[in-house]
Amino acid sequence: MRPMRNIIVDFDGTISDSREDIASAQLWALGQVGFAGATREDLYPHIGKPLTETFLSVLPRDLHERIPDAVRHYSDYYPPRSLVTTVLFPGVRETLEALVARGCRFAVASTKRGAGIRRATDHFGITGLFVQLQGSDDLPFKPDPAILLKILEAQAWSPAETLMVGDTPHDILAGRNAGLATCGVTYGSLTEEEMLALRPDYCIRSFPELIDVVQNGTASIHHRLHPPGRSDAKSC
Protein backbone atom coordinates (compact mmCIF):
# COMPACT_ATOMS: atom_id res chain seq x y z
CA MET A 1 0.00 0.00 0.00
CA ARG A 2 1.59 3.25 -1.12
CA PRO A 3 0.38 6.37 0.72
CA MET A 4 -0.94 9.21 -1.44
CA ARG A 5 -0.73 12.26 0.78
CA ASN A 6 0.00 14.80 -1.95
CA ILE A 7 -2.09 15.45 -5.05
CA ILE A 8 -1.10 17.62 -7.99
CA VAL A 9 -3.93 18.52 -10.34
CA ASP A 10 -4.06 20.08 -13.76
CA PHE A 11 -6.51 22.98 -13.98
CA ASP A 12 -8.34 23.34 -17.32
CA GLY A 13 -10.21 20.16 -18.15
CA THR A 14 -9.49 18.59 -14.77
CA ILE A 15 -11.02 20.81 -12.11
CA SER A 16 -12.52 23.55 -14.29
CA ASP A 17 -14.68 23.32 -17.39
CA SER A 18 -13.19 26.27 -19.27
CA ARG A 19 -13.33 24.98 -22.81
CA GLU A 20 -15.90 27.49 -24.10
CA ASP A 21 -13.94 30.52 -22.88
CA ILE A 22 -10.62 29.12 -24.09
CA ALA A 23 -11.88 27.96 -27.48
CA SER A 24 -13.67 31.26 -28.09
CA ALA A 25 -10.47 33.19 -27.38
CA GLN A 26 -8.46 30.85 -29.61
CA LEU A 27 -10.95 31.27 -32.46
CA TRP A 28 -10.72 35.04 -32.09
CA ALA A 29 -6.91 34.92 -32.17
CA LEU A 30 -6.94 32.69 -35.24
CA GLY A 31 -9.26 35.13 -36.94
CA GLN A 32 -6.82 37.96 -36.27
CA VAL A 33 -4.18 36.17 -38.36
CA GLY A 34 -6.59 35.50 -41.20
CA PHE A 35 -7.83 31.98 -40.47
CA ALA A 36 -11.52 31.18 -40.10
CA GLY A 37 -11.40 27.46 -40.86
CA ALA A 38 -11.63 26.12 -37.30
CA THR A 39 -14.57 25.46 -34.99
CA ARG A 40 -14.80 25.19 -31.22
CA GLU A 41 -15.09 21.43 -31.63
CA ASP A 42 -11.78 21.40 -33.51
CA LEU A 43 -10.11 23.19 -30.61
CA TYR A 44 -11.57 21.32 -27.64
CA PRO A 45 -9.12 18.36 -27.87
CA HIS A 46 -6.19 20.78 -27.75
CA ILE A 47 -7.19 22.58 -24.57
CA GLY A 48 -4.45 22.22 -21.97
CA LYS A 49 -1.70 22.13 -24.56
CA PRO A 50 0.72 25.04 -25.14
CA LEU A 51 -0.76 27.62 -27.50
CA THR A 52 2.05 27.25 -30.00
CA GLU A 53 1.37 23.53 -30.25
CA THR A 54 -2.37 24.11 -30.65
CA PHE A 55 -1.99 26.71 -33.37
CA LEU A 56 0.62 24.59 -35.15
CA SER A 57 -1.94 21.79 -35.35
CA VAL A 58 -4.82 23.98 -36.51
CA LEU A 59 -3.31 26.56 -38.82
CA PRO A 60 -2.42 25.69 -42.42
CA ARG A 61 1.28 25.59 -43.17
CA ASP A 62 1.26 28.92 -45.01
CA LEU A 63 0.14 30.65 -41.79
CA HIS A 64 2.63 29.00 -39.43
CA GLU A 65 4.77 32.11 -39.49
CA ARG A 66 1.83 33.95 -37.90
CA ILE A 67 1.74 31.67 -34.85
CA PRO A 68 3.62 34.15 -32.60
CA ASP A 69 1.05 36.78 -33.58
CA ALA A 70 -1.83 34.41 -32.80
CA VAL A 71 -0.30 33.62 -29.40
CA ARG A 72 0.05 37.33 -28.64
CA HIS A 73 -3.55 38.04 -29.68
CA TYR A 74 -4.82 35.24 -27.47
CA SER A 75 -2.73 36.34 -24.51
CA ASP A 76 -4.20 39.85 -24.75
CA TYR A 77 -7.78 38.76 -25.39
CA TYR A 78 -8.31 35.82 -23.02
CA PRO A 79 -7.53 37.05 -19.45
CA PRO A 80 -10.41 39.55 -19.10
CA ARG A 81 -12.78 36.98 -20.63
CA SER A 82 -11.45 33.87 -18.92
CA LEU A 83 -14.33 33.39 -16.49
CA VAL A 84 -17.38 34.25 -18.57
CA THR A 85 -18.67 30.68 -18.87
CA THR A 86 -15.99 28.74 -16.95
CA VAL A 87 -17.28 26.63 -14.05
CA LEU A 88 -15.88 24.00 -11.72
CA PHE A 89 -16.69 20.45 -12.71
CA PRO A 90 -19.36 18.81 -10.53
CA GLY A 91 -18.13 17.84 -7.10
CA VAL A 92 -14.72 19.52 -7.36
CA ARG A 93 -15.15 21.88 -4.41
CA GLU A 94 -16.66 19.22 -2.17
CA THR A 95 -13.97 16.67 -3.07
CA LEU A 96 -11.12 19.10 -2.44
CA GLU A 97 -12.62 20.07 0.92
CA ALA A 98 -13.18 16.45 1.95
CA LEU A 99 -9.65 15.34 1.11
CA VAL A 100 -8.00 18.40 2.64
CA ALA A 101 -9.97 17.71 5.82
CA ARG A 102 -8.43 14.22 5.82
CA GLY A 103 -4.93 15.64 5.62
CA CYS A 104 -4.28 15.56 1.88
CA ARG A 105 -2.35 18.43 0.32
CA PHE A 106 -3.18 19.79 -3.11
CA ALA A 107 -1.20 21.78 -5.67
CA VAL A 108 -2.04 22.94 -9.19
CA ALA A 109 0.33 22.40 -12.13
CA SER A 110 -1.05 24.14 -15.20
CA THR A 111 -0.09 25.41 -18.62
CA LYS A 112 -1.78 28.63 -17.51
CA ARG A 113 0.36 31.35 -16.03
CA GLY A 114 0.31 31.60 -12.27
CA ALA A 115 -1.70 34.83 -12.31
CA GLY A 116 -4.39 33.16 -14.41
CA ILE A 117 -4.66 30.23 -12.03
CA ARG A 118 -4.95 32.56 -9.03
CA ARG A 119 -7.59 34.65 -10.80
CA ALA A 120 -9.68 31.52 -11.32
CA THR A 121 -9.20 29.97 -7.87
CA ASP A 122 -10.04 33.32 -6.22
CA HIS A 123 -13.15 33.58 -8.41
CA PHE A 124 -14.34 30.15 -7.25
CA GLY A 125 -13.23 30.64 -3.64
CA ILE A 126 -10.92 27.61 -3.57
CA THR A 127 -7.47 29.24 -3.39
CA GLY A 128 -7.04 28.27 0.25
CA LEU A 129 -7.42 24.59 -0.56
CA PHE A 130 -4.07 24.55 -2.39
CA VAL A 131 -0.59 24.83 -0.97
CA GLN A 132 0.85 25.91 -4.33
CA LEU A 133 -0.57 27.26 -7.60
CA GLN A 134 2.17 26.57 -10.11
CA GLY A 135 1.87 27.98 -13.60
CA SER A 136 4.24 27.41 -16.49
CA ASP A 137 5.82 30.84 -16.11
CA ASP A 138 9.39 30.52 -17.44
CA LEU A 139 9.21 26.71 -17.19
CA PRO A 140 9.07 24.08 -19.94
CA PHE A 141 5.56 22.89 -20.69
CA LYS A 142 4.30 19.44 -19.78
CA PRO A 143 5.12 16.63 -20.62
CA ASP A 144 8.45 17.98 -19.39
CA PRO A 145 8.31 17.25 -15.63
CA ALA A 146 9.86 20.59 -14.62
CA ILE A 147 6.62 22.10 -13.31
CA LEU A 148 5.94 19.02 -11.17
CA LEU A 149 9.51 18.84 -9.92
CA LYS A 150 9.30 22.48 -8.86
CA ILE A 151 6.26 21.69 -6.72
CA LEU A 152 7.91 18.61 -5.23
CA GLU A 153 10.99 20.63 -4.32
CA ALA A 154 9.10 23.62 -2.94
CA GLN A 155 6.82 21.47 -0.78
CA ALA A 156 9.43 18.82 0.09
CA TRP A 157 7.05 16.15 -1.21
CA SER A 158 8.21 12.63 -1.91
CA PRO A 159 7.39 11.44 -5.46
CA ALA A 160 6.39 8.09 -3.94
CA GLU A 161 3.61 9.81 -1.98
CA THR A 162 2.37 12.09 -4.77
CA LEU A 163 -0.34 11.60 -7.39
CA MET A 164 -0.67 13.56 -10.65
CA VAL A 165 -4.24 14.04 -11.90
CA GLY A 166 -4.98 15.35 -15.39
CA ASP A 167 -7.00 15.08 -18.56
CA THR A 168 -4.37 15.25 -21.32
CA PRO A 169 -1.51 13.07 -22.56
CA HIS A 170 0.84 15.83 -21.42
CA ASP A 171 -0.41 15.51 -17.83
CA ILE A 172 -0.02 11.75 -17.70
CA LEU A 173 3.41 11.79 -19.35
CA ALA A 174 4.64 14.63 -17.13
CA GLY A 175 3.57 12.70 -14.04
CA ARG A 176 5.28 9.58 -15.28
CA ASN A 177 8.42 11.56 -16.17
CA ALA A 178 8.49 12.96 -12.63
CA GLY A 179 8.21 9.48 -11.11
CA LEU A 180 4.65 10.00 -9.83
CA ALA A 181 1.61 7.78 -9.86
CA THR A 182 -0.90 9.12 -12.37
CA CYS A 183 -4.68 9.41 -12.53
CA GLY A 184 -6.43 10.27 -15.77
CA VAL A 185 -9.89 11.83 -15.98
CA THR A 186 -12.23 11.03 -18.86
CA TYR A 187 -14.49 14.10 -18.75
CA GLY A 188 -11.87 16.54 -20.09
CA SER A 189 -10.08 16.60 -23.44
CA LEU A 190 -9.88 12.85 -24.07
CA THR A 191 -12.40 10.08 -24.44
CA GLU A 192 -12.24 7.14 -22.05
CA GLU A 193 -10.66 4.99 -24.75
CA GLU A 194 -8.01 7.62 -25.48
CA MET A 195 -7.18 8.04 -21.81
CA LEU A 196 -6.94 4.30 -21.20
CA ALA A 197 -4.51 4.02 -24.10
CA LEU A 198 -2.09 6.21 -22.10
CA ARG A 199 -2.06 3.60 -19.30
CA PRO A 200 -2.41 5.90 -16.28
CA ASP A 201 -2.23 4.14 -12.93
CA TYR A 202 -5.84 5.14 -12.25
CA CYS A 203 -8.67 6.48 -14.36
CA ILE A 204 -11.83 8.21 -13.15
CA ARG A 205 -15.04 9.39 -14.77
CA SER A 206 -15.78 12.18 -12.27
CA PHE A 207 -13.66 14.20 -9.87
CA PRO A 208 -15.36 12.87 -6.70
CA GLU A 209 -14.06 9.40 -7.60
CA LEU A 210 -10.64 10.73 -6.59
CA ILE A 211 -11.67 10.01 -2.99
CA ASP A 212 -11.76 6.28 -3.74
CA VAL A 213 -8.39 6.45 -5.48
CA VAL A 214 -6.77 8.13 -2.49
CA GLN A 215 -8.63 6.27 0.25
CA ASN A 216 -8.90 2.77 -1.20
CA GLY A 217 -6.59 2.64 -4.21
CA THR A 218 -9.58 1.99 -6.47
CA ALA A 219 -11.37 3.81 -9.27
CA SER A 220 -14.36 3.18 -11.51
CA ILE A 221 -12.10 2.01 -14.34
CA HIS A 222 -9.42 0.55 -12.06
CA HIS A 223 -10.07 -3.07 -13.02
CA ARG A 224 -9.26 -2.30 -16.64
CA LEU A 225 -5.84 -0.91 -15.76
CA HIS A 226 -4.49 -3.31 -13.13
CA PRO A 227 -4.95 -6.96 -12.24
CA PRO A 228 -7.77 -7.55 -9.73
CA GLY A 229 -6.77 -7.03 -6.12
CA ARG A 230 -3.88 -4.66 -6.75
CA SER A 231 -3.95 -1.52 -4.59
CA ASP A 232 -1.23 1.10 -4.67
CA ALA A 233 -2.71 3.92 -2.66
CA LYS A 234 -4.21 4.52 0.74
CA SER A 235 -5.94 7.31 2.55
CA CYS A 236 -4.20 10.48 3.60
Q: Indicate if 10 belongs to the active site.
A: yes
Task: Tell me, letter by letter, the H, E, C secondary structure of 143-189.
Answer: CCCHHHHHHHHHHCCCHHHEEEEECCHHHHHHHHHCCCEEEEECCCC
Q: Exactly one of 10, 12, 167, 201 is catalytic; which is it?
A: 10
Q: Residues 204, 233: contact at Cβ < 8 Å? A: no
Q: Report d(CA 235, CA 157) in Å as an integer.
A: 16
Q: Is the dihedral of CA 141, 149, 9, 129 positive or negative?
A: negative
Q: Residues 191, 205: contact at Cβ < 8 Å? A: no
Angle between helices 67-77 and 51-58 (to 10 degrees): 120
**Closest among 152, 156, 188, 150 to 170, alpha carbons compared:** 188
Q: Residues 22, 178: contact at Cβ < 8 Å? A: no
Could you give the residue numbers annotated as active site?
A: 10
